[in-house]
Structure 1
C-alpha cells in the first residue's frame, strides 16, 4: 500500500546497544493485520478511559466504530486526542505499537462503504455493516459512528533478545 513512509528514529535510552529502528513498512503491516486495539480517551473530568475495539487501516489512518452513547464517543466529542495501542502480550517477542492522533468522525458515504468492506474482509461477516445517514448500521440493529485517526506519532517497542524503541513522526 502506498502512502506516508516516515523514517524511524531509534531511542538509544530504551534500546539494546546497536539496535536498529524498525522499518515503517513492517509496523504498518502490523497495524493492518492486528485484530484487537486498545483505545485510550479522556473523560470530561480528566480521568483516562481505555477500552478494546476492532480497527482497520486505510489510507494512512486507523478507523474504528462505536455507538454514539458509548463512553468513548462521548469522550471524543469533547476531546479528540486519543491513543490506539496493539501488540503482543508477551515479553519475549513481538512489536507493541502506540498510535497517537486525533479521532475525526467520518460521514463520507464512499469512504464508509470501503471501510465496511474492510471490516468484513478482516473480521468476517459478523462485522457486516450497512452504510446510511453517515454511519454504520448493523443488520441486528444499532448505529455506529466511524472515526479515523491519522497518526501524528507512532512508537514501536521491540521485545525479545534485542529490545528497541522506534519513533515515527508524521
Structure 2
C-alpha cells in the first residue's frame, strides 16, 4: 500500500527566489534519520511543555515513548495535540522540520514488537524493550513506557540553502 502524498506548498514570502519546495520524501527521510526530536505538549493550565526525546518513523508516523507518570504523558491525557520538531540548529545549511498532529497511544502487541525492533535498529541494544500489557518495558527494570504515534496533519520544512519554507498538508486539503 502506498502512502498518500501531502499537498505541498512553497511560501514565496519566506523563500529565496530560486527556492523549490522540499519534497516530502526528503523530509520523511530527515524525520527517520533524526537522532533527537523535541516535543511540545500543552499543560492543563495551557502553558507549553517542551522536552527532547528519541523518535522512530514507522508507517508514516513519528513514534515516541514516555513513562505514564511523566509530564508529557499527563499532558497528552488531557490534550493529544502536539508539535514535534527536529533539525540541524544551523543557519546556512540543513533542513528544520515541524510536525503537527495528535498523539495516539499504541497498545497493540504486534505493533509494539515492530516498534521495539525499530528502536533497536536506530539506537542500538541499550534501547531494547520488552513488550507486555500494552507498553514497553526496559530490560534494566526502569518501569514501563507508553508508546505514542503522531501522524502528521500539517508539517513545515525550513530549508537553508537556499532559504525556503515548505508546508505539507495531509488528509483533507
The TM-score range, normalised by the shorter chain, is: over 0.9
Aligned to 2:125: 125
Q: What are structure 1's unaligned runs of at least 5 residues?
A: none
Aligned to 1:40: 40
CA drift of 1:2 comes to 4.2
- Corresponding position: 1:148 with 2:149: yes
Q: What are structure 2's unaligned runs of at least 5 residues?
A: none
CA distance in structure 1 between the aligned counterparts of 2:4 and 2:130, rounded to whole angstroms = 30
CA distance in structure 1 between the aligned counterparts of 2:35 and 2:100, rounded to whole angstroms = 18
Misfit runs of 4+, over 6 Å:
none
CA distance in structure 1 between the aligned counterparts of 2:165 and 2:85, rounded to whole angstroms = 14
CA drift of 1:4 comes to 2.5
The number of residue pairs the alignment matches comes to 169
- Residues 85 and 98, structure 1, Cα contact 8 Å, conserved in 2: yes
- Residues 4 and 60, structure 1, Cα contact 8 Å, conserved in 2: no
Other structure's SS at 2:121 match:
helix
Other structure's SS at 2:165 match:
strand
Other structure's SS at 2:110 match:
helix
Aligned to 1:90: 90
TM-score (norm 2): 0.95
CA drift of 1:7 comes to 3.7
Other structure's SS at 1:16 match:
coil
CA distance in structure 2 between the aligned counterparts of 1:38 and 1:158, rounded to whole angstroms = 18
C-alpha RMSD of matched pairs (Å) = 1.1
Other structure's SS at 1:38 match:
strand
1:71-100 deviations in Å (ceiling 9; x for gaps): 000000000000000000110100000000
